[in-house]
Amino acid sequence: MKQSGRTLTGSRRDRSALAVQGFLPLLFAGMCWHWARWGIAFLSAFWINEITDSPRMVQLTGTTMWAPLLLGGALGGVFADRFDRLRTVQWQLALLIPMVVLIGFLESIDQLSVWMIYPFLLASGVGWVGDMTSRRALVFELVGTDRIDNAMAYEAFTLASGVAVGNLIGGSVAQSFGIGEAFFVVAGLLLLGLVSLNWVPSDNSAVRSPPSNSSTLTELKEGLSLARTNTGLRSILGVTFLANFFLFSYFPAVQRIGDRIGATPSQIGLIAAMTGFGMMAGSFIVGLWEPERRGLVYISGVAFGMIMLVPFATSSSVPMAASALFIAAIGSGFFGATQSTLVLTIVDTDMRGRAMGLLSMAIGALPIGTFLLGEIAEQIGASSAVVTMAVSGLLLLGVWVVTHREVLGMRRSADI
């Protein structure tokens, strides 16, 4: 299948997505979402760890928050192709803000219960599906093919900044003022993102008009069939599945590894934030580099991240853990900066939302991976569990790439 991307011409300034009207506020809204999302993930895992002291319950926070990606990704993709993408994102934020405020209020008056956290995380995960399928497809629609590499590098950078800032906010505000107050800060970030969407041109997300004989079920089946009929997309999705199952499942385990090396809450937040800072560095490199061989960069980033998880998991001090995780996350940044671009350029225009829905389903391997890591950690400890998952993932990644080589040949201008 021929990619819709073509050889880029003109100066770097001509290819900058920032020159497109509406892209900057859309990017800012995404940044606020990512900061808030990672703040929610950190604070929920931190609170559960404090209350239960259970590796299983801590990992279950990640499983719950990321489950909607697996279970609802395809349906979210249909909505993105069928309905007003901008409105979808606005409603997602508007509904989540009061939930965050409520959780913060209950925690601040000591009325928050363990059972309340998991439905809240599930709702947050639904919001993630909306952002992945609707807002990212809207980015492509807004900037066009020539600027998509640059736009997605910015997207990956803001996502990575969310990992960093969200965890730092969670750790520092929780330690200085309290967990409830930190949730209020998260709600403020979501509100800023919602307001910024007012400056995104609405005509770029006009409601799609599907054929009169088309139904949601029909479009859902068409979206799911992409994984079977588009071999290039299937090759991409397999790498995404393995990355999320074996690489990114370590996120909640940072709490336990931090405890093992005697880190304070703010130090645990700092260690967790290294994921974001490393991904920011990797995304920045890709944005400047604009690599011709997107697929190779995509795979190499995953492999490098898995390798570097081993020294992170076995570290004996806060500086060592933070440094190793930062280096590992540079590879994750390579992966994240090329992932959406590969997916969006391998399918036809009217299937982009559904393709992103399939991508979110592949990312949905994350809750399964975090659950498995939690069960392994319950038996052999968090550090050994992270090493086991990373080594297993590296071996399976090699097998997948050998048997599904399409992604290796993906370039900025190439026939697949």
| Tens-digit pLDDT profile for residues 356-407 | 778 878 887 877 888 888 889 888 988 999 999 999 999 999 999 999 988 8
**19-203+223-409: CATH architecture:** Up-down Bundle (1.20)
The pLDDT, as a whole number, for residue 120 is 95
| Beta strand spans in 257-369 (E) | none
Closest Cα to residue 226, out of 345, 358, 338, 334? 358
Structure tokens, 274:
């290294």
Residue 414 has pLDDT above 60, yes or no: no
Residue 199 has pLDDT above 50, yes or no: yes
**How far is it, in rounded angstroms, from Cα 189 to Cα 100?**
11
Output 153 or 108, whichever has higher pLDDT. Answer: 108
Residue 124: which pLDDT band, with cuts at 50, 70 and 90?
Answer: very high
Closest Cα to residue 65, out of 393, 368, 339? 368
Residue 205 has pLDDT above 60, yes or no: no
Contacts 24+ apart (CB under 8 A), 176-179: 178/107, 178/108, 179/43, 179/46, 179/47, 179/104, 179/107
Provide the residue ranges of all domains of the chain, joining segments of one domain with +: 19-203+223-409
Q: 167 and 276 in contact (C-beta within 8 Å)? A: yes
Using N-to-C axis directions, what is the helix angle for 179-196 and 148-176, rounded to 10°? 150
Q: Is 98 left (phi over 0), alpha (psi -120 to 50) or beta?
A: alpha
Residue 1 has pLDDT above 60, yes or no: no
Average pLDDT, the chain: 83
pTM, 2 dp: 0.71
| Tens-digit pLDDT profile for residues 136-178 | 878 878 887 778 777 887 887 888 787 777 777 777 788 788 8
Residue 416: which pLDDT band, with cuts at 50, 70 and 90?
Answer: very low
Residue 338 has pLDDT above 70, yes or no: yes
Residue 254: which pLDDT band, with cuts at 50, 70 and 90?
Answer: confident
Residue 183: which pLDDT band, with cuts at 50, 70 and 90?
Answer: very high
Closest Cα to residue 222, out of 396, 350, 313? 350
Which residue matches tokens 């073509």?
A: 6
